[in-house]
Amino acid sequence: MAISRWKFPRDLAGRFNIFGLAFFFGVVSEIRRQEFKSGENVMMDLKNLVSDELKLKQKIAKLQADLARKEAKKKFAVRQLDSRRKIILGGVLIAAVRAGGIPENAVRKLIIGFASDRDKAAFDDFVFDVPVRAASDVGSAQETARE
């Protein structure tokens, strides 16, 4: 026989009190009703928590995707700027050689020393079109380049 957790009210003589009994069952039924409602609330809260968790995970995934997209865009912009700088620097070097400010063999040494094999092949048949100048013009161009 299971022992009840509820003790029935008794009067001083140890007999059951009818008014106390009615009050007791009223309280017990109210407690059980509250427990049932709180159980429903717990289930509702659990559903809300699961729903909120799903929404937050989706938000995190969206933010991570946005971050990855922005990082890729930044990386592309950095590469694009680096390529632009290389093109400008190459154009400046070629213009300086053609103007006589930098000797052609110095640029060829730079290419041999620092360019990759693939890049060296691009300069194998490249002609700088250096105009022939008088010795006095070369000296003044070198002085201008130093300044």
Distances (CA, A) of 44 to 26, 39, 41, 52, 81: 27, 9, 5, 12, 55
Q: Average pLDDT of the chain?
A: 78
- Averaged pLDDT, 82-87: 94
Is 144 part of a structural domain of the chain?
no
Domain that holds residue 27: 7-73
Is 97 part of a structural domain of the chain?
no
Please say if the pLDDT value at position 66 is more than 60: yes
Is 22 part of a structural domain of the chain?
yes
Is 139 part of a structural domain of the chain?
no
Is 81 part of a structural domain of the chain?
no
Long-range contacts of 95-103 (CB under 8 A, 24+ apart): 96/145, 97/128, 97/130, 98/128, 98/129, 98/130, 98/131, 99/141, 100/130, 100/131, 100/133, 100/137, 100/138, 100/141, 100/142, 101/141, 101/142, 101/144, 101/145, 102/145
**What are the counts of helices (DSSP H) followed by strands (DSSP E) for the chain?**
4, 0
Is 33 part of a structural domain of the chain?
yes
More confident residue, 20 or 53: 53
Torsion 71-74-79-82 (CA) sign: negative
Q: Whole-model pTM?
A: 0.49
Domain count within the chain: 1
Is 116 part of a structural domain of the chain?
no
Is 11 part of a structural domain of the chain?
yes
**pLDDT classification of 23: cutoffs 50, 70, 90:** low
Read off the pLDDT of residues 93-135 as tens digits, 9 standing for 90 and up: 999 988 888 898 898 899 899 989 988 888 888 887 776 664 4
